Structure 1
Amino acid sequence: MASSDLIDQIAERVEHLLLRHEELQRTNALLAQQVQSLSHERDQLKSRLSAARARVDALIERLPTATAPASPEATE
């Protein structure tokens, strides 16, 4: 009987480990999907940032050049 109880305990433990393994596999798949989604979102944001920087740089290029500061006599 003692060996039967031991085998039952081992079988129960194996069942528990199999369930845990399946649970971890599902969790891992969900996390991998989330990483892929976030990576795609990051790439889109980087692209938008690059385009915005290009627009800002183009606007800066269109600004008139700075003129020399006025002399103190001209401001009086």
Structure 2
Amino acid sequence: MLFESIVCAMLNELNALEIKIAQVVVLCRTLRTENEVLRQQLASLEIDKERLAERMAAARTRLEQLAEQLPEAKP
């Protein structure tokens, strides 16, 4: 009787552990998928950032050229 109750308790603990492990596996897969999506978004945003930096540099150069063409202010 004592042995059976110990075995039953151990089986219950093993079942609970199996459920927890399954939950961790699902969470791990979900996080991997989310991580991959975030990596792709980051790569895309880095490309956008580079493009914007190039456009800003071109605009700065153009503004500097235009500023040089302005007549000097007379006091």
Q: TM-score, normalised by structure 2?
A: 0.84
Aligned-pair Cα RMSD in Å: 1.0
Identity among equivalent positions (%) equals: 28
Could you report, residue by residue, the CA deviation over 1:21-48 in whole angstroms, capped at 9, with x for unpaired residues?
0000111111111111111111111110
Q: Which amino acid aligns with 1:44?
A: R
Alignment gaps of 5+ in structure 2 = 1-7
User: Does 1:31 find its partner at 2:31?
Assistant: no
Query: What is the count of residue pairs matched by the alignment?
Result: 68
Runs of 4+ in structure 1 off by over 4 angstroms are none
* Bigger fraction of residues in helix: 2
Q: Which has the larger radius of gyration?
A: 1
**Among candidates 5, 17, 37, match of residue 10 of structure 1:** 17
